Each structure stands twice: as C-alpha cells, then as structure tokens.
C-alpha cells in the first residue's frame, strides 16, 4: 500500500505561530547572572542593579528582582528568629535551609525556567519591577 494519493496537509495560514518561550533571546550569560543573583543574594542583585547593560535584560531583571526580595525576606526571617528564645538555637539550620532553597531557584533560572516564588513573584510583578 502506498500513501501517494493521501492528501497532504497544508499549514493553516490563519493559525498563530507556535508560542515561543517568553525568554527567547536568553543567553548563557543571562542564565549565569540569574543563578548568581539567587545564590549570592542580596549582594549580587544589588551589583546587577548598578550594571546598566544587565539590569534591562528581561530575564535577568525578573530573576534579579525576585532574588533581591527573596534574599531580603530571608534576612528578615533570620533576624526575627534570632530574637526568639529557644528557637534561635536552630538559626544556622534554618539559614542553611533558606540558602538551599535559593540555590534551587537559582538552578531553575540557570536552566532557563521562570521561577515562581509564592508571594514574592506576584509582589515583584505588581510593583512593575519585572
């Protein structure tokens, strides 16, 4: 049996092209800066804000602002825990766990994914920072 007489499907010209990822022009440099922003937050995000060529790139801007807010939130959480008696003995463990979460988000960004951090992602987008 031959499929010579089978109709050939023509592409539908009215159909929209397949959606490309929102970060179609993301370079490996962008991914590296996003990773560093999460892992070394809040220091690297502040440095990125001072770098004119980096802070305006959409992928870096999104992850940088999320990393900055997440890093500052981690510092506030650790400061509050530090003054609570009987809980402050777990401060190093909690700090390490928070840093591991930041590393995980950084690796997700390095893989080119948009990281959705509960509360923080919505806050950053509502403020127009990303």
Query: In this predicted structure, what is the pLDDT of residue 23?
Result: 47
pLDDT digits (tens, 9 = 90+) for 32-69: 999 999 999 999 999 999 999 999 999 999 999 999 99
What total of structural domains would you count in the chain? 1
76 domain-assigned: yes
Which stretches of the chain drop beneath a pLDDT of 50?
15-23
Q: Where are the beta strands (DSSP E) in 1-130?
A: none
Query: In this predicted structure, what is the pLDDT of residue 116?
Result: 95
The gap from C-alpha 83 to its chain's centroid, in whole angstroms, comes to 30
CA distance 120 to 114: 13
68 domain-assigned: yes
Query: In this predicted structure, what is the pLDDT of residue 125?
Result: 95
Query: In this predicted structure, what is the pLDDT of residue 63?
Result: 97
37 domain-assigned: yes
93 domain-assigned: yes
Query: Mind giving me the DSSP string for 34-51?
Result: HHHHHHTTTHHHHHHHH-
Pick from 22, 4, 9: nearest CA to 112: 22
Type and span of the H or E element at 108: helix 91-110
Query: In this predicted structure, what is the pLDDT of residue 127?
Result: 96
103 domain-assigned: yes
Query: In this predicted structure, what is the pLDDT of residue 130?
Result: 84
2 domain-assigned: no
Domain, as residue range, for 113 = 28-126
Residue 110 has φ and ψ, to the nearest 5°, of -65, -30
4 domain-assigned: no
Residue 128's region, left for phi above 0, alpha for psi from -120 to 50, else beta, is: left
pTM of the model: 0.79
Q: Measured between alpha carbons, how far is residue 129 from residues 49, 63, 115, 121 in Å? A: 11, 10, 15, 10
Query: In this predicted structure, what is the pLDDT of residue 17?
Result: 44
89 domain-assigned: yes
């Amino acid at each position: 049996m031959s499929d010579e007489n089978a109709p050939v499907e023509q592409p539908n010209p009215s159909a929209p092209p397949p959606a490309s990822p929102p970060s179609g022009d993301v370079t490996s440099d962008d991914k590296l800066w996003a990773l560093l922003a999460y892992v070394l937050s809040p220091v690297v995000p502040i440095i990125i804000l001072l770098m004119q060529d980096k802070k305006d790139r959409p992928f870096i801007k999104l992850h940088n602002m999320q990393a900055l807010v997440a890093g500052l939130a981690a510092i506030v959480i650790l400061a509050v825990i530090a003054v609570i008696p009987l809980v402050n003995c777990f401060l190093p463990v909690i700090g390490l766990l928070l840093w591991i979460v930041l590393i995980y988000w950084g690796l997700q960004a390095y893989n080119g994914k948009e990281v959705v951090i509960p509360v923080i992602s919505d806050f950053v987008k509502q403020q127009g920072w990303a």
